Amino acid sequence: MTIIVINNKGQYNHRIQRSLQYLKIDSELVSNTLSIEEIEAKNPTGLILGGGPSLEGAGNSEEYIKYFDIPILGICLGHQLIAKTYGGEVSTSNTESYAQVKININNDENLFEGLAPEMEVWSSHKDEVKSIPDEFEILANSKLCDIESFKHKDKEVYGIQFHPEVHHTPKGSQIFENFYKICKQ
């Protein structure tokens, strides 16, 4: 039951893996340059695509999204990569900020189970998802961003703009526990 955390060179990628360790969730942080075969050999039950400075530095992340049919959680850049891979639009935010934000949770099943109707999160809005493809639904929004979170309608593929791995997101560990529950199903 290992969750593979894809390091997209963001400042919090190591914290994602450490947060999972604190929750006693088996995980491994790996480079985004690993091949599909190298990831497959680890027999993951889920993938978490970490944040990073740019879409250009995301290595093989888009290939992982296309190939693997296991639960996937994209965080910040990972969220944007999922949207882009499926045909959504990602661009620079109108309100670039790094701050604590209150998100409105529209769907409290699965990833947000036990967290609705609102949640304080640490959000990074340099780039953001501007539109999602038809096969996705929006799970959460905020005053700063219309698409704080989304889910694929038929697959266990989730994206979140915010960072559950930092202490500025007080209930962030619940996101990881909920994702782990999804992976175990």
Quick one: CA dihedral 5, 11, 14, 19, positive or negative? negative
Q: Are 78 and 51 in contact (CB under 8 A)?
A: yes
Element (DSSP H or E) covering residue 7 = strand 3-7
Q: Are 5 and 50 in contact (CB under 8 A)?
A: yes
CA dihedral 160, 118, 164, 123 (to 10 degrees): 70
| Active site residues per annotation | 76, 163, 165
HSE-CB for 57 with a 13 A CA cutoff: 11
Query: CA 51 → CA 87, 116, 149, 176, distances in Å?
Result: 19, 24, 14, 15
Q: What tokens does 143 get?
A: 């005053």
The position carrying tokens 């190298």 is 38
Distance CA 123, CA 181 (A): 24
